[in-house]
Structure 1
Amino acid sequence: MTQTAIITGGAGGMGLATAKILGSDHRVVIADLDQQRLDTAVAELAAGGIEAASAVCDITDRASVERLLDEAERGGHHVRAVVHAAGISPQMGSAERVARINGTGTVNVTRAFLARAAEGDVLVNVASTAGHGLPKILIPFGSFRLAETDPAAFERAIVRRARVAGRKLHSGIAYGISKAFVLWYTRSQAVAFGKRGARIVSVSPGSFDTAMGRLEENHGAAEFLKVSAIKRFGKPEEIAAVLAFCAGSAPGYLTGVDILVDGGARAGAEFRKRPGVTP
């Protein structure tokens, strides 16, 4: 039985970089909304000697996610790992769209994979350093529990809370809340995954040199560099190395936690005001 890894958002950026690593010992299936981008990515992977398939998938549609898993399993393949890298940043959509894709999309992927998970399997959810930075008073933790039972109400709760600031900030606040949800939801599912002998972790990237990262460069991403320990954008290959490690079989005791990969931005922000410390 061939071991398969699915990468959502796998047609570019950190998703494609992760596929290049996991493809060394997995059959990879990359998922995206755009077939043309998928075809280009599959050709790039094939040129590197990596067996890859592709599937168009809308993560906000549970049925579409189920079809993705069905297609990946066709022919006797077993989906051992899912790296859920699909998502949008504040400049890519409204607060409503951010909540639906980053929040409900993560629930759909998680629930669909959990139903099939077996011993040694793993889900890696991509969160964000933004999920760590919001004041807790802005995060509607009580409404997070609605994500599985009433996704519309869950999304509305995020959007309402995002409206505490001016319109220009709505998507940004919704993004931070949606990624705080990914952190919370990943922790909340650890026991359920553990009962199946499987793992679930999240990884929180900081500012990375991807198309999405550069889109946010003048909207806050570059500001992190002022306090970061490493004063540059991260490379896609650097975050992919962490995602692929988490999705591998070696860290078998790693579950229910988040790994922050932000170049030391939060550490720099925390300690920059100490005497003798220069930003």
Structure 2
Amino acid sequence: MKNNIFSLKNKVAVITGGKQGIGKVVAGYLADAGADIVIFDLAEASDVAAEIANEHGVQARSYICDVTNPQDVADKIAQAGSEMGTLDLLFNNAGICLHKEALECTPSEWSKVIDVNLNGVFYVAQAFARYLIANQKTGNIVNTASMSGSIVNIPQCQASYNASKAGVVHLTKSLAVELAPKGIRMNSISPGYIRTEMTGTVRQDWQDIWVDMIPFKRMGTPEELAGAVIYLLSDASTYTSGSDMIIDGCFTIV
């Protein structure tokens, strides 16, 4: 290969929901690709930032940030940009899931899922894009959607989650078109069943059903998402925007 088009060296990447699970693992891979790391999470994540910095020899900082609070998001973007020197990339990953029948879901429960998974993605993407434009920079954003935005999962009931992730997919496409003239690319990944702290707490009989339905006969791992995120954030994908990459072990095509 003539150049290392997958390199993220000299870039600063923000990862929301980076304390654990997909966010934490992918943050480490982005650091391995050369990026300095900024972690946003509701929980204190300085230990994760220190671990990434020590292992990969990059700069890494963490900030407590509520993605459902637009002012907090804007403030933390500005603070991180000032303290890191710049910001270039965003892995917009924070999310929650509620397994509850729609007829039993309360308005507050519905609103909480939509607020974190859809509104939060918008607030962070908006603030990040505003930062790039104000600083006359181009940049790349990857949002975490889900295969649940394309199909209805069984046997669990999770209409709020499914609706929120479908929203993320179309939000990604909409913002990609709006931001293209400004040199900002936006794509999404749609993971299938990934073995993380979140899925590990789900009833075992449901997990068994999921695995039986997956052609690969296993859940994926966060590590198996990292390559897609690196591709979409790197110069390997300079003509790719508004796409949604489903990574599900063939689950949605059978």
TM-score, normalization: structure 2? 0.84
Q: Give the aligned partner of residue 159 of structure 2.
A: 173
- Where do 1:232-271 residues align within 5 Å? 232-268=218-254
The SS at the match of 2:131 is coil
Shift of 1:97: 1.0
Matched residue, 1:3: 11
Q: Which residue of 2 aligns with 1:126?
A: 144
Q: Which string of whole-angstrom CA distances, capped at 9 and with x for unpartnered residues, describes residues 171-219 of structure 1?
A: x101000000001111111122101111000100111111112234548
Partner of 1:100: 115
The alpha carbon displacement at 1:75 in A equals 4.4
Gaps of 5+ in 2: 1-8, 101-107
Q: Mark the CA change 1:45 to 1:265 in structure 2 (over 3 Å): closer, same or farther.
A: same
What are the superposed Cα offsets for residues 49-92 of structure 1, whole Å, 9 maximum, x if unpaired?
34210001000000111112112211462211100110101159
> Hey, what does 1:52 align to over in structure 2?
60
Task: Give the conservation status (yes or no) of the 8 Å contact 1:91–1:215.
Answer: no
Give the residue type in structure 1 aligned to 2:114. Answer: A
Moved more, 41-50 or 61-70: 41-50
Q: Which amino acid aligns with 1:193?
A: L
Matches within 5 A, 1:140-219: 169=157, 172-216=158-202, 218=204
Residues 3-47 of structure 1 show CA distances to partners (whole Å, capped at 9, x for unaligned) of 210000011111111111111311110110111xx0221232133
TM-score normalised according to structure 1 size = 0.77
Deviations 1:218-253 (A, max 9, x none): 485553322322111111111122122212222111
Counterpart for residue 47 of structure 2: 40
* Alignment partners' CA distance in 1, 2:87 and 2:178: 18
**Does 1:20 pair with 2:28?**
yes
1:85 is the counterpart of 2:93: yes
- Any conservation in 2 of the 1:230–1:263 contact (CA below 8 Å)? yes
Query: Residues 10 and 19 of structure 1 are in contact (CA less than 8 Å); yes or no, is this contact kept in structure 2?
Result: yes
SS in 1 for 2:186: strand
- Give the aligned length: 232
Structure 1 CA distance for aligned equivalents of residues 216 and 86 of structure 2? 39
Whether the aligned pair in 2 keeps the contact of 1:15 and 1:240 (CA below 8 Å) is: no
Summarize the Cα distance change of 1:221–1:194 in structure 2 as closer, same or farther, 3 Å threshold. Answer: farther
Q: Is the 8 A contact 2:78 2:131 kept in 1?
A: no
Structure-2 separation of matches of 1:217 and 1:186: 32
* Closer, same or farther: CA 219–89 of 1 in aligned 2, 3 Å: farther
